[in-house]
A and B are shown apart, each in its own frame.
Chain A
Amino acid sequence: MFTNKKEIILTINQIIFSSLDIREVYETMSKELLKVIDFDRMSVTLITEDNNLYETFVLSKDYAYTELKEGVQYPMEGSLMKRVVQFRQPVIVEDTSKGRFLTDSVLYKEGIHSRLGYPLEHKGRVIGSVNFGSKRKDYYSRKHIAFFSQIAPQLAMAIENTRLFNGIKEAEEKYRTVIENSPDIIFECTKDGEFLLMSPSVEKITGYPANQFYENRGYGLSLCHKEDQERVQREILQILNGRNNSLMDIEFRVIHKQGHVVWLSLEMLPMKQNNDIVGIEGFCRDITERKKLDELKDNLVRDVTHELKTPVAKIEMAIDMFERSIALGDKVSLGRGSQIHEILRNNVNRLKNSIKNILDISKLESGVEPLKLSDISITDIVKQIVCEQKDAASAKNNVLTHQLPSGIPIVKADRDMIYHLTNHLVNNAIKFTEHGKIIISARALPDAVEVTVEDTGRGLDEKTRERVFEKFYKETPSAFGSGIGLAICKNIVQKHKGRIWVESEGKGKGSQFKFTLPMIADTKQKVTTNPK
């Protein structure tokens, strides 16, 4: 039976080191082993990390049916495995019918009558065992143990290598998945500007695919905004020269392939090899949205400051003017006096208005104040506004009229708010129209009333149309007003569950501001008695 034993041991050892795939090792090995050891079943069981369980690593498929399944974990307690581990010695079971170990009865039922468990040791630690099973009773002996002792160390090493390899492969897989799916740019770059790693997200952020970075040295820096290039280069050099060992965080701009600016935040560390700095590694996050918000906030603070400070400044200057007049002649002339009076009056009004707007939007947004709903007539409100604003409109040579068909339904709404909303739209129309026409109209939709304020004035381009209802949005920084008015309008309409939007053919082509107020079921039937 033990013919060419040495040759077989050699072959098996070769097999063990020929592959990192343990199944492949196992299958070839079991074929070879069969030549020298008679077994009906062979398995490798490995102890889990917590030492309380063991896992069947591979099983021979000689048996069509077995309860011991690959990959399943079994308790150590009461097993042959426990004994092998405890005594670091091979264990032979002559007769499984005696039920010495928990697994014996299972194996007995499956026709295995004797067993041999051989410990697998690696670096002085038992990591598991190789197990043989035979249909014959009292089959395994010292001879088998002596033979197997020459293969076991290599097999243990092969298994550890495989485990290590699989661990690395798994970690690498994880690492790759993280890099490939990261929304941030992860990179490694040598001292010479050669990219060793560039995650695919770079394409989404900059418009340029990763391979362009791999193929071109220093490609990253060339995408940098001109004004930021020098600063970024300086910071990178600091790291490469070892003057900064900690994580460095800088913000800079790159130009997207399509020409627009993208803001990035870059965090980087020196990449080291044997204590020498060989490059940098780090990641870049797209912070354009945050930067836009910052800018919006800065502009907002600036605009509100300007809006509040300007009238105060002028009031102060008017007072100074008044005091100087007094000092000069003791008596303020009639003309000068009325001029000062007018400036004071205008600016107090402007200030009052700004403060009111700011308070209004805060109140609306906080939702503190409930709607004071009542049955209101859009027709009446429109007529009132046309009457009140006629003079203001004609002061800019505009004709202000209304178009109100009969039968505009009554709606349930907060009258003050709807008045404010409509009035603001008319005010705006007058502000941006000269020598033109402004028409307020209303019409009944199946479940809502739609109001339109149409003018022949300045009009809006697409960008402005999209943003005009944003809080503090202004077409130009100097545009008059706080930029809150339309945000308030939008808020009022939303509170009434309606819709507000603007239509315009473009710059210089007039605009139509429209809003709807939905009818509540029980008020649907009521119509204004006197629409004209």
Chain B
Amino acid sequence: MKELLIVEDDLEMQEFYKDMLEGEPFTVTLVPNAEEGQKKIKEKIYNLVILDILMDGVTGDRFFALLRRDSRYKEVPVIMASALDEKTYRCFQALGNVSFLEKPFNKERLLSEISMRFGSKK
């Protein structure tokens, strides 16, 4: 089964993820900050990572840069989720294989993004 890692520090957003992804055919691991996320990515290779951007401590964009430094995560697809629009984060495209998910999103939007990005090598 495919593995999805979500790094999101907002408790309410975590609830939305849980609610929307319940019963879907993949495993979801939710962590509240980048530090926890780093522990998780050391343990195994996830098939997809969803990152919140504005987080306390290590921010999503920094976590993303660190992720790409790990040789096993060079190609793993990443979704950056934020209430800000896409153009603010265009600079992250240089890090490769990334897409943007603007908040708010509904269940359909989230699921289609996830299914599109699983195994994506763009």
A residues adjacent to B (C-beta < 8 A)? 302, 305-306, 309-310, 312-314, 316-318, 320-321, 324, 339, 343, 346-347, 476-480
Tell me whether A477 and B54 are in contact (CB under 8 A): yes
For chain B, the bracket of interface size reads 20 to 34
Nearest A residue (CB) for B13:
A314
Tell me whether A343 and B15 are in contact (CB under 8 A): yes
**A313-B104, A314-B104 known; A306-B16 Cβ under 8 A:** no
A481 to B97, CA, bound (A): 32
Tell me whether A309 and B105 are in contact (CB under 8 A): no
Smallest distance from the beta carbon of A265 to chain B beta carbons, Å? 22
* Chain B residues, CB < 8 A from A317: 16, 103-106
Q: Which of B1-44 contact A (CB under 8 A)?
A: 9-10, 12-13, 15-16, 19
The verdict on B84 contacting chain A, using a C-beta distance below 8 Å, is yes
Tell me whether B107 and A305 are in contact (CB under 8 A): no
Tell me whether B55 and A478 are in contact (CB under 8 A): yes
A346 to B11, CA, bound (A): 12
**A346-B12, A478-B56, A478-B59 known; A321-B84 Cβ under 8 A:** no
Smallest distance from the beta carbon of A482 to chain B beta carbons, Å? 13
**A317-B16, A321-B16, A478-B55 known; A310-B107 Cβ under 8 A:** no
Q: Which of B67-119 contact A (CB under 8 A)?
A: 82-84, 88, 103-107
A265 to B107, CA, bound (A): 48
Tell me whether A324 and B83 are in contact (CB under 8 A): no
Tell me whether A313 and B107 are in contact (CB under 8 A): no
15 A-B pairs with C-beta separation under 8 A: A302-B88, A305-B83, A306-B54, A306-B82, A313-B104, A314-B16, A316-B104, A317-B16, A318-B12, A320-B107, A324-B19, A346-B12, A478-B55, A478-B56, A480-B56
A259 to B13, CA, bound (A): 41
Tell me whether B19 and A310 are in contact (CB under 8 A): no
Of the residues A313, A476, A479, contact of B83 by C-beta under 8 Å? A313
Smallest distance from the beta carbon of B111 to chain A beta carbons, Å? 12
* Chain B residues, CB < 8 A from A302: 84, 88
* Chain A residues, CB < 8 A from B103: 309-310, 313-314, 317
A306 to B60, CA, bound (A): 15
Smallest distance from the beta carbon of A434 to chain B beta carbons, Å? 13
* Chain A residues, CB < 8 A from B13: 314
**A320-B107, A339-B15, A343-B15 known; A479-B84 Cβ under 8 A:** no
A480 to B15, CA, bound (A): 19
* Chain A residues, CB < 8 A from B10: 310
Smallest distance from the beta carbon of A294 to chain B beta carbons, Å? 15
Smallest distance from the beta carbon of A288 to chain B beta carbons, Å? 21
Question: A314-B104, A317-B16 given. 7 additional CB < 8 A pairs?
Answer: A305-B83, A305-B84, A309-B84, A313-B103, A477-B54, A478-B9, A478-B55
* Chain A residues, CB < 8 A from B105: 317
A476 to B88, CA, bound (A): 17
Nearest A residue (CB) for B16:
A317
Smallest distance from the beta carbon of A325 to chain B beta carbons, Å? 9
A346 to B88, CA, bound (A): 27
Q: Which 7 A-B pairs have the closest CB atoms?
A: A313-B104, A478-B54, A309-B83, A316-B104, A313-B103, A310-B83, A317-B104
* Chain A residues, CB < 8 A from B82: 306
* Chain B residues, CB < 8 A from A480: 56
A164 to B82, CA, bound (A): 70
A309 to B53, CA, bound (A): 14
**A314-B13, A314-B104 known; A321-B19 Cβ under 8 A:** yes
* Chain B residues, CB < 8 A from A312: 104
A305 to B104, CA, bound (A): 14
* Chain A residues, CB < 8 A from B106: 317, 320
Of the residues B9, B15, B83, contact of A306 by C-beta under 8 Å? B83
A146 to B89, CA, bound (A): 90
A191 to B105, CA, bound (A): 56
Smallest distance from the beta carbon of B98 to chain A beta carbons, Å? 19
A479 to B19, CA, bound (A): 26
* Chain A residues, CB < 8 A from B59: 476-478
* Chain B residues, CB < 8 A from A347: 12
Smallest distance from the beta carbon of B48 to chain A beta carbons, Å? 20
* Chain A residues, CB < 8 A from B15: 339, 343
**Among A302, A317, A318, A320: residue with most chain B CB under 10 A:** A317
Tell me whether A306 and B84 are in contact (CB under 8 A): yes
Smallest distance from the beta carbon of B27 to chain A beta carbons, Å? 22
Nearest B residue (CB) for A298:
B88
* Chain B residues, CB < 8 A from A316: 104
**A306-B84, A321-B16 known; A479-B56 Cβ under 8 A:** yes
**Among B9, B13, B57: residue with most chain A CB under 10 A:** B13
Smallest distance from the beta carbon of A253 to chain B beta carbons, Å? 16
* Chain B residues, CB < 8 A from A320: 104, 106-107
A317 to B105, CA, bound (A): 7
A478 to B56, CA, bound (A): 5
A479 to B56, CA, bound (A): 6
* Chain A residues, CB < 8 A from B19: 321, 324
**A302-B88, A313-B83, A324-B107 known; A343-B12 Cβ under 8 A:** yes
**Among A302, A306, A479: residue with most chain B CB under 10 A:** A306
Nearest A residue (CB) for B19:
A321
Smallest distance from the beta carbon of A298 to chain B beta carbons, Å? 9
Smallest distance from the beta carbon of A480 to chain B beta carbons, Å? 8
Smallest distance from the beta carbon of A470 to chain B beta carbons, Å? 19
Smallest distance from the beta carbon of A190 to chain B beta carbons, Å? 36
Smallest distance from the beta carbon of B19 to chain A beta carbons, Å? 6
**A321-B19, A478-B59 known; A314-B12 Cβ under 8 A:** yes
